[in-house]
Structure 1
Amino acid sequence: MEDSNELVQRQSWLNRNWKWFIPSGCLTLLVLVALFIGGIFYEVTSVLKDSEAYKESMIAVENNKLVVEKLGSPVETDGIVSGTVTSHNEVRTCNVQVPLKGPKGKGTLFIVGEKRGTWKYSEMSVYIKNTNEKIDLLEK
């Protein structure tokens, strides 16, 4: 009897607790990885939404009567903003897609532009999903 008690006492903590420690350790690792990826995603999305190009384009969307007519009011973002905003030697470029929604439908805002002092857009348009229509926001 004494030998078996000695054997139980000699087992390491991990040998006694591995059945719950390993699964919970793996779960903790997965949660940390998910939080890290989520944090990076949040930062990238925040950079895109904080850009001047995004803000100017959303103002153009809200002030365009045809877009408001097709999507309804208010027009809001609907999901993940994607694309790139880069800066090199004081020249900024953007190529961004913004999913939009309104009470009447959904669409996508496309923004392509370059900033050398002020933003100059080569494209700022809204694609309306329901009607397969493209509305150019740069037209006067």
Structure 2
Amino acid sequence: MEHTTEHKSWFGRNWGWVVPLGGCLTIILLVILFLGSLVFGVSKMVTSSDPYESGLERVRQDQYIVGILGEPIEKDGIMQGSLSLENDRGTADISIPIKGPKGKARLYVVGTKQEDHWNYSEIYVIIDGTDEQIDLLGFEQQNSIF
């Protein structure tokens, strides 16, 4: 009498822990993917906002700051502060870390949006190391429309 032993496949022997673990990992990966896309979407919205772009444009056009930081000047991390937009109104009080080949600084932009126009009360840069504050509104009348 011949006795044959039938061997189960790897999945057949291990399904009891593979299925729950695989399901949990799938859920965890989906949550991470969702949160990543949410952060990317919010970040993209902020970096394409008028206060963010106007502030960086002013920094890049200011020869004094370019002399201190060098070129190119680019963002250097995550923006802090608050940006609120609703229809044709909004407020901004943001701080953007920036850097150039010669140094680092922080750009500050404060303003309000009414009827689809931004009025900036403050746009300035503080240079790291020296704490020098450079006003980028210059001789322009504060609260004027840009």
TM-score range, shorter chain: 0.7 to 0.9
AA aligned to 1:58 is L
Name the counterpart of 2:122: 123
Shift of 1:88: 4.3
Offset, 1:62: 0.4
SS at match of 1:109: strand
Is residue 138 from structure 1 mapped to residue 133 from structure 2 by the alignment? Answer: no
TM-score with structure 1 setting the length: 0.79
State the match for 2:28 in structure 1: 30
- Length-normalised TM-score, structure 2: 0.76
CA distance in 2, matches of 1:43, 1:108: 23
Higher percent of residues as helix: 1
- Aligned-pair identity in percent equals 36
Q: Which amino acid aligns with 1:97?
A: S
CA distance in structure 2 between the aligned counterparts of 1:14 and 1:83, rounded to whole angstroms: 54
2:112 equivalent to 1:114: yes
Q: Within the alignment, does 1:64 sit opposite 2:62 as a pair?
A: yes
Post-superposition offset of 1:15: 8.4
**Match in the other structure for 2:50:** 52
Report the CA distance shift for 1:31/1:139 in structure 2 as closer, same or farther (over 3 A).
same
Q: Is the 1:45–1:82 Cα contact (8 Å) retained in structure 2?
A: no
Task: Say how many residue pairs are matched.
Answer: 131
Q: How far, CA to CA, are the matches of 1:131 and 1:29 in structure 2?
A: 49
Partner residue in 2 for 1:3: none
* Structure 1 residue 73 corresponds to structure 2 residue 71: yes
Structure 2: segments with no counterpart, 5+ residues: 1-7, 140-146
